[in-house]
Amino acid sequence: MRVSAGLPTGMEGLTYPIPFSDPENVIRIAVSAEKFGYDSVWGNDHMTTQHYVREEFPVPPRFWEPLMVYSYLASITTRLRFGTGILVTPMRRDIVATAKQICTLDHFSGGRFELGVGIGAYREEFDAVQPDSPLQRGDIVEESITAFNKLFSERVSSFEGSFYRWRDVELYPKPLQKRLPILVGGNNANNIRRAVEQADGWLPAGLHVTQVRKGVATLKEHAERVGRDWREVEVAPQWIVRIETQRPKAIQAFESSQMYKHLVSLRKSTLKDQGDIKMEDSNLVGTPAEIIDKANALREAGVTHLLGLYFAANSVDDLVDQMQRFSEDVIPHLG
């Protein structure tokens, strides 16, 4: 099972306090991830500050563009892979330019890039950058995957969609990887369908193991309906991590983090189907032994990649310490 770490490209004010994501700190986290043996780092994508963040902090957060960040990080690392968790394609109108950036990054990183796409957690961002759009974000994401697949595979292509359009484009070079992995972000069944029909992986967030089992069962059923081997589709959820020697201490640190406030805000969108499940139970919060048991249960439920583990911490020193503890106390014991 692959294990990766979250990178705070767009997380100041959301999951971490302000200031937090100085360029030097983002670099430090990525370099530490490679040092500690993580497979990859996954950054997120925001264009404008959320309303609740504006109300809480007197200064705006720094949201770094992830593809640009990775172009730098690729030059100072050798093995670490890079993924977007997620790239919000409905906020990116010029899909050809985005595809060109992705192909360039894949070549200059030596084939170390993976593309996660989705609608984004906050509708208000889409409304800000695409005001008065009559389109549904899910439909745009689906169209963007079709667009990427055409641009990455066809020598010359044209496309007339509802959101994306181009004519007679020869995008070259194609990605360095024979097939650049595309993962679809989102917890609902529509995103499982998109992953099976169009992509290479399903990238939900904060799911309890019981929800993972249901999602994987849905994935298998849909794969059988469309004639695809379900084992070709990576199951790569994101989780929050807080590891301590005692469970109460882990829960206390988790609940006092900016990360916890972010999860509360997501109860209205991404995590609206969580019901009465406690957030510490649907994430990797606890002692090393508890987290090992939970992670192995997730693997048995069908998870193939602990993608973008986001560590609940209010300082970079604490985050890097959590990354190291997880790499030493948990990863060696995962099946």
pLDDT > 90 in the chain, percent = 93
> How confident is the model over 170-178, as a mean pLDDT?
98
Rounded to the nearest integer, the mean pLDDT of the chain is 96
To which residue do tokens 């583990």 refer?
309
> 99: exposed, middle or buried (C-beta count within 10 Å: 0-12, 13-18, 19+)?
buried
Bridge partners of 3, per DSSP, are 306
- Helix, strand, coil shares of the chain as percentages rounded to 5? 45, 15, 40
pLDDT of residue 274: 72
Contact call for residues 238 and 205 (beta carbons, < 8 A): yes
User: Is the bond preceding 8 in cis, omega lying within 30 degrees of 0?
Assistant: no
Distance, in Å, from the CA atom of 304 to the CA atom of 236, rounded to the nearest integer, reads 6
Output the CA–CA distances (angstroms, integers) from residue 65 to 47, 184, 304, in the order listed: 8, 19, 27
Q: 32-42, pLDDT tens digit by residue?
A: 999 999 999 99
Copy the structure tokens of residue 199: 């992509």
The phi and psi torsions of 118 (rounded to 5 degrees) equal: -175, 180
Inform me whether the pLDDT recorded for 262 exceeds 90. no
Render pLDDT for 307-326 as a digit per residue (tens, 0 to 9). Answer: 999 999 999 999 999 999 99
Neighbours of 278 (CB within 10 A): 11
- In tens, the pLDDT along 272-289 reads 777 778 999 999 999 999
Is residue 197 scored above 90 in pLDDT? yes
The stretch 123-132 carries a mean pLDDT of: 96
